[in-house]
């Protein structure tokens, strides 16, 4: 299943933990907010992605199905 990482920018408090745990996919901007690579997370990195999602202290990070994300964009 293709999954992408998605950040809720309103909930995110810029803790930066996600970038520490998943640097292959997430970097931080100058204010400490995550910049997430677009596109599906490769299978070999899924465990890292889940670890970052689970560690976010404000539940701002999610793994979503790629198809669902596309639909969400259309309706936004």
Binding to ligand SF4 by residue 40, rule CB under 6 A?
Answer: no
H or E element that contains 66: helix 66-75
H or E element that contains 47: helix 46-55
Binding to ligand SF4 by residue 62, rule CB under 6 A?
Answer: no
Binding to ligand SF4 by residue 18, rule CB under 6 A?
Answer: yes
CB of 61 to ligand SF4, least distance (A): 4
From the list 69, 1, 4, the residue with the least C-alpha distance to 52 is 4
What is the binding site for ligand SF4 (CB under 6 A)? 7, 12-18, 34, 56, 58, 60-61
């Amino acid at each position: 299943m293709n999954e992408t990482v998605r950040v809720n920018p309103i909930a995110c408090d810029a803790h930066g933990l996600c970038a520490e745990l998943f640097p292959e996919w997430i970097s931080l901007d100058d204010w400490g907010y995550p910049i997430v690579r677009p596109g599906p997370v490769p299978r070999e990195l899924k465990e890292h992605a889940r670890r970052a999602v689970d560690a976010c202290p404000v539940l701002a990070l999610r793994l979503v199905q790629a198809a669902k994300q596309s639909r969400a964009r259309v309706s936004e």
